[in-house]
A and B are shown apart, each in its own frame.
Chain A
């Protein structure tokens, strides 16, 4: 039982390049999330998927797109990377949404955009 996995662990991009961050969970959770974490800013929600087939914007969605590929997988795409997107990206999952469902995090992807 691997929990939440993310690939890649590290990535360096040049401004304007695109890439997709992959996330998968094996806990049969319904909901999945993408966060970014920057020094002094805490964890900020980019997009989430309440259930398979749905996605919604979080606090900082600009410059990102997501795909809920199936119940297990939720990907985050940067179409044209910018230096402001240099950050650590975490994927998380929970059994459901709402107040009584704790989230479990993947190990993170450290992205640098030059």
Chain B
């Protein structure tokens, strides 16, 4: 079983719709979860992080975490063509010093 799994996509949504990006992870001891956005040919850029079960909102973005189901998602409301990018889920596996494990990313395409 892969440690962090994401659907590769592409996920296509029309402008103004809600885009829902999903990520599952295998290590129940994972402590924190990050969403990065990566435009083609660019480096990953941090969008949000979440540590506790439930929802965390930042502008048009909402991260949702369900540790019992080992599932984290990113909702993008009022999607814009500029949101078209690959979204990477990253998971920190345990407390104390540790590194991030990244999923392979989901490509999002927002059509005007």
Total interface residues on B, CB under 8 Å, equals 24
The distance in angstroms between the C-alpha atoms of A49 and B44, with both chains bound, is 19
- Contact of A42 with B104 in the complex, beta carbons under 8 Å: yes
- Contact of B99 with A48 in the complex, beta carbons under 8 Å: yes
Interface residues of A in 61-114 (CB under 8 A from B): 90, 96-100, 102-108
> What B residues does A40 contact at CB under 8 A?
104
**Shortest distance from the beta carbon of A51 to any chain B beta carbon, whole Å:** 9
Which residue on chain A has the smallest CB distance to residue B34?
A: A102
> What B residues does A41 contact at CB under 8 A?
104
- Contact of A43 with B43 in the complex, beta carbons under 8 Å: no
Interface residues of B in 63-112 (CB under 8 A from A): 88, 90, 92, 94-100, 102-105
With a 10 A CB-CB cut-off, give which of A41, A45, A98 has the most chain B CB atoms. Answer: A98
Which residue on chain A has the smallest CB distance to residue B100?
A: A103
- Contact of B103 with A42 in the complex, beta carbons under 8 Å: yes
The distance in angstroms between the C-alpha atoms of A100 and B99, with both chains bound, is 11
The distance in angstroms between the C-alpha atoms of A44 and B51, with both chains bound, is 23
> What A residues does B97 contact at CB under 8 A?
50, 96-98
> What A residues does B34 contact at CB under 8 A?
102-103
- Contact of B45 with A105 in the complex, beta carbons under 8 Å: yes
Which residue on chain B has the smallest CB distance to residue A48?
A: B99
Given contacts A42-B88, A42-B104, contact A102 B46 (CB under 8 A): yes
> What B residues does A42 contact at CB under 8 A?
88, 102-105
The distance in angstroms between the C-alpha atoms of A90 and B102, with both chains bound, is 13
Given contacts A42-B103, A43-B102, contact A99 B46 (CB under 8 A): no
Q: In the complex, which of the residues A45, A48, A99, A106 contacts B92, with contact meaning CB atoms closer than 8 Å?
A: A99
Please, could you name 7 A-B residue pairs with CB atoms under 8 Å apart, sorted by A?
A41-B104, A58-B99, A97-B98, A102-B49, A103-B100, A105-B44, A106-B43
